[in-house]
Amino acid sequence: VQLQASGGGLVQAGGSLRLSCVASGRAFSSYVMGWFRQAPGKEREFVSRITLSGIGVYADSVKGRFTISRDNAKNTVYLQMNSLKPEDTGVYYCGRFVGITYDATNSYGNWGQGTQVTVSS
């Protein structure tokens, strides 16, 4: 499985971005997918994940501002980010759940190249 993330950019605080992650292969509908982010000098951290039935789970820091969704027909998972803050800045990665603990970085694999999100104050 290969994952390709896109949609990042430079935005002012309070603005919005929509990230997309396209997966190769035919089994996308059977994958739990997650979004993570990594700020400079920090570890990669959990942002959100989506279940097979389309239910989103969020880190407390983004709850109420970000919305995850999936389109199985397009092999794509989205992350709608609203009310962006400077602390949301980082490289955003999508990953496929392959492990045991749902919100642990090392439970995800097939990382794509990531997409840069920069929020200016």
Residue 100 has pLDDT above 90, yes or no: no
User: From CA 21, how far away is CA 62, in angstroms rounded?
Assistant: 18
Asked whether the beta carbons of 11 and 118 are under 8 A apart, the reply is yes
Asked whether the beta carbons of 46 and 36 are under 8 A apart, the reply is yes
Phi, psi of 111 (to 5 degrees): -55, 140
Average pLDDT, the chain: 95
Looking at residue 65, what is its pLDDT? 98
In tens, the pLDDT along 3-61 reads 999 999 999 999 999 999 999 988 999 999 999 999 999 999 999 999 999 999 999 99
